[in-house]
Structure 1
Amino acid sequence: MFNVSDGVPAGGEPVAVTFAAVFVALFVAHQVGDHWIQTQHQASHKGDAGWSGRWACVKHVLTYCATAMVSLAGLAAVTGWCPDGVPAVVGMAVSGVSHFVIDRRWPLRWLADRLGKCPDWLERGGGLYALDQSAHIGFLFIAALVMAS
C-alpha cells in the first residue's frame, strides 16, 4: 500500500486507485487459484466431514493464498505499489479465512437454506457455485479495502 503523509499517498495515487488495482489482482488470483491451481482431490474433498476434509481445504487455501501473493507481487513489481505490512497481512487473513469457511460448504448451504434458496436451484441449477463465487468475491472486496487502507 502507498504510505500516506498529510493525506497524500507517497506514490501519488489516490487510495481508490490502490484499492482498484489490488482488487483486480486478488480477483485474477482467485480465478486462477480456485479453477486452475486447486487440485481435483482438493475440490472433491474440501467439504468432507472430519479431518481429511479440513486438511483438503487447508491445502487448497494455502495454494490459493500463495497464488494471491504471486499476483500481488506482480502488481508491486510492475506498478511500484508497496504494501504496508499490517494491512497486507490482515487483508490476506480475511481472504484466506473466509475462503476456508466458504469452501467447507456446510456454512454456505446452511445460510442458503435459512434464506429460502430453492433446493433445486442450489443442487442442479448452479446455485451453490454461484453463491460460493459471489461470497468469495465479496470477501475479496473487503480484503482489497483493508489492503488499500
Structure 2
Amino acid sequence: MADPSTRAIRFATAYALMRMAADLGDHWIQSDHQAVTKGEHDENEGQSSRAGRIACTAHVATYTATQAVALFAGSRAIGLRLKPSRVADALALSAATHWWADRRIHLKAIADATGKGNFYTLGGPMGGSYALDQAFHHTVETVAAVIAASER
C-alpha cells in the first residue's frame, strides 16, 4: 500500500489536471454549435433531440480527449505514475456523467425536484443553470480524481 501522502499528491495532481482540462474543454475547445445545440430536445419548438445528442456526443468526445491529454501529459511531465487503467476508469466516469448533465433536462429535473427550479432559471443560460451544471461537474471530477489516483 502506498504512503498516504503519495496518494494525496496523486489525487491533488489528478484533480488539478482534470479541472484545468475541463475548463479548457468546456470553454475553449467546445464549438459554438455544440454549446448551443447539445441541449436540444424535440419537445421544444424548433429543436431536435437527434441534433442535441450528436452535438453533445461531439462535445464530450473533445472534452474527454482534453482531459486524457492533460492527465497523461501532466502526470508524465511531473513524474507522477498514474495507472492507465485507473485513468481510463476516471475518464469514463467523467465522460458519461458530462454527457448526461449537458443534455440539460436531467439537471433541470433534479433542480426542480430539490426546490432549486427558480435558481436554475435565474439569470438565463449563464446564471443558475450554468452554476448548477458546473457544481455537478466539479463533484464528479473530484470522484474521478480519486479513481485516477488509486492504485487498484
**Aligned with 1:27 (options 5, 19, 25):** 19
Q: In structure 2, what is the Cα distance between the partners aligned to 1:85 and 1:25?
A: 15
Percent identity of the aligned residues?
37
**What does 1:34-53 align with in structure 2 at a 5 Å threshold?**
34-49=26-41, 50-53=49-52
Compared with structure 1, are the counterparts of its residues 108 and 118 closer, same or farther at alpha carbon in structure 2 (3 Å cutoff)?
closer
- Residues in 2 aligned to 1:17 and 1:80: alpha-carbon distance in whole angstroms: 12
Report the equivalent of 2:80: 81
| Distance in 2 separating the partners of 1:93 and 1:76 | 18
Contact 2:13–2:75 (8 Å) recurs in 1: no
Q: What 5-or-longer segments of structure 1 have no aligned partner?
A: 1-6
SS at match of 1:71: helix
One-letter amino acid of the structure 1 residue matched with residue 31 of structure 2: T
Kindly state the Cα deviation for residue 81 of structure 1 after the two structures are TM-superposed.
Answer: 1.8
Give the partner amino acid of 1:138: T
Shift of 1:13: 5.9
Report the residue type matching 1:148 in the other structure.
A
Q: Are 1:141 and 2:147 an aligned pair?
A: no
Amino acid in the other structure paired with 1:107: H
Report Cα offsets for 1:7-57 as digits up to 9, x if no partner. Answer: 236xx9610110000000000001110011000000000011221110100
Structure-2-length-normalised TM-score = 0.86
1:64 is aligned to 63
In 2, Cα distance between equivalents of 1:73 and 1:88: 8
Task: Tell me by how many angstroms 1:82 deviates.
Answer: 2.4
Unaligned runs of 5+ in 2: 42-48
Q: Partner letter of residue 139 of structure 1?
A: V
Q: How many residues end up aligned between the 2 structures? A: 140
Amino acid at match of 1:17: I
